[in-house]
């Protein structure tokens, strides 16, 4: 039985457990857990459910609940835990947040609806195991940030969301210290990532060329990931998080750098308006970066107020200013055919970016 199959079975099992415990539900539950029960030959015959009361006086329903608890503890919880913590892309089956929700639901059933030794023994260390695994996940992500010249923000965003999910799950399991620890790890990872982004953008601002432009584009292109990272730094009250002041400083520092980047991109693009021989791909690259900055600023609008909120306004104004400058050039310069064709291309490129930004 694969991990992904067991995780999907856990989702179905929880849905059945939420229904009234009637004959059809009991039969469906019995069918669902039978493949797992066949992997437990050590069970005595009296532990198996045959629709009859056993010699010890337990009712069929009680026996079925015992078998469900054994299946949850020995097979389904380990599968959910593995899928939740696996850093590799998950195969078919529940997503990481779904796995967390199912795991919390099964634990609640074991705690509230089934009072047996199997649940108590196997769940005692679950929260501790999750904290340990989360610590390893954060450490691995931090190591990658230290090693890589350009941070992989898409990968980091997935890690941050996974840590956030684990924090929520720990709260559901009654662990009130683990979530705060994981929140601190998320803020530190986000601050470190923003420091790397700031350094990459700074190289372009200090020494603008095609190579540094490409590097700066690479780190801000995954706009959704940048927004996820920013959300880890926004809105944490200092009283609740001693490192929140450092988080706010990192966010403010990067926002200032990105505003400088927007200004520089606009200046470079403006200098190429109507200039025959200028590289159209380079001009488009400048526009795409401005579009990314608009999206980052707008994507952050749902978080508590941050310096990134002004970024969208600034970058959008630069794009519209470039469009106006091209229109003025088209109207006033009486350009020759080559220049007129170039201005038409530039007007088209800017309009395309503004259309994307409006989506």
Examine the domain organization and report whether 197 and 228 are in the same domain: yes
**134 close to 182: Cβ distance less than 8 angstroms:** yes
Question: In angstroms, rounded to a whole number, what is the distance separating the alpha carbons of residues 173 and 134?
Answer: 15
Of 109, 124, 139, at which residue does a domain stop?
A: 124
Of 124, 146, 166, at which residue does a domain stop?
A: 124
Examine the domain organization and report whether 101 and 224 are in the same domain: no
Query: Residue 171 is part of which domain span?
Result: 129-358
Handedness of CA 281, 286, 287, 288 (dihedral sign): positive
pLDDT digits (tens, 9 = 90+) for 177-231: 888 888 889 989 988 888 889 899 999 999 988 888 889 988 888 888 888 888 8
Share of the chain above pLDDT 90, in %: 20
Question: In angstroms, rounded to a whole number, what is the distance separating the alpha carbons of residues 59 and 233?
Answer: 54
**48 close to 67: Cβ distance less than 8 angstroms:** yes
Question: In angstroms, rounded to a whole number, what is the distance separating the alpha carbons of residues 185 and 128?
Answer: 16
Whether the per-residue pLDDT at 76 is higher than 80: the answer is yes
pLDDT digits (tens, 9 = 90+) for 118-172: 455 555 577 788 888 888 889 999 998 888 877 888 889 988 988 888 888 888 7
Examine the domain organization and report whether 134 and 120 are in the same domain: no
For the entire predicted model, the pTM comes to 0.74
**226 close to 296: Cβ distance less than 8 angstroms:** yes
Examine the domain organization and report whether 269 and 202 are in the same domain: yes
Examine the domain organization and report whether 171 and 247 are in the same domain: yes
How confident is residue 87, by pLDDT bands cut at 50, 70 and 90? low
Whether the per-residue pLDDT at 235 is higher than 70: the answer is no
Question: How confident is the model at residue 46, as a pLDDT?
Answer: 43
In terms of Cβ atoms closer than 10 Å to its own Cβ (0-12, 13-18, 19+), residue 84 is buried
How confident is residue 82, by pLDDT bands cut at 50, 70 and 90? confident
Examine the domain organization and report whether 135 and 119 are in the same domain: no
In terms of Cβ atoms closer than 10 Å to its own Cβ (0-12, 13-18, 19+), residue 38 is exposed
Q: Structurally, how many domains does the chain consist of?
A: 2
């Amino acid at each position: 039985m694969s991990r992904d199959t067991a995780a999907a079975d856990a989702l179905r099992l929880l849905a059945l457990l939420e229904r009234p415990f009637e004959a059809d539900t009991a039969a469906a539950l019995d069918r669902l857990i039978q493949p797992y029960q066949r992997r437990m030959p050590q069970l005595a015959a009296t532990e198996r459910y045959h629709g009859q009361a056993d010699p010890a006086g337990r009712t069929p329903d009680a026996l079925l609940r015992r078998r469900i608890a054994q299946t949850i503890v020995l097979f389904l919880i380990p599968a959910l835990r593995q899928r939740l913590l696996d850093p590799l892309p998950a195969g078919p089956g529940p997503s990481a947040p779904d796995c967390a929700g199912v795991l919390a639901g099964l634990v609640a059933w074991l705690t509230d609806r089934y009072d047996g030794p199997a649940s108590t023994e196997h769940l005692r260390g679950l929260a501790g195991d999750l904290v340990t695994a989360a610590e390893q996940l954060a450490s691995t992500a931090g190591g990658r940030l230290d090693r890589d010249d350009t941070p992989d923000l898409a990968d980091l965003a997935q890690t941050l969301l996974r840590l956030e999910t684990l924090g929520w799950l720990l709260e559901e399991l009654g662990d009130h210290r683990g979530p705060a620890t994981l929140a601190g790890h998320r803020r530190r990872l986000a601050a470190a990532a923003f420091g790397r982004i700031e350094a990459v953008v700074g190289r372009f601002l200090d020494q603008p060329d095609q190579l540094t432009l490409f590097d700066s584009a690479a780190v801000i292109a995954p706009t959704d990931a940048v927004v996820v990272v920013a959300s880890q730094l926004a809105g944490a009250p200092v009283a609740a998080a001693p490192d929140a002041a450092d988080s706010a400083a990192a966010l403010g520092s990067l926002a200032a750098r990105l505003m400088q980047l927007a200004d520089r991109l606009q200046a470079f693009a403006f200098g190429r308006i109507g200039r025959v021989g200028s590289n159209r791909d380079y001009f488009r690259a400048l526009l795409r970066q401005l579009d990314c900055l608009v999206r980052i600023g707008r994507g952050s609008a749902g978080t508590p107020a941050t310096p990134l909120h002004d970024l969208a306004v600034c970058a959008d104004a630069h794009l519209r200013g470039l469009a106006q400058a091209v229109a003025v050039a088209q109207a006033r310069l009486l350009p020759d055919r080559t220049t007129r064709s170039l201005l038409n291309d530039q007007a088209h490129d800017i309009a395309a970016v503004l259309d994307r930004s409006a989506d």
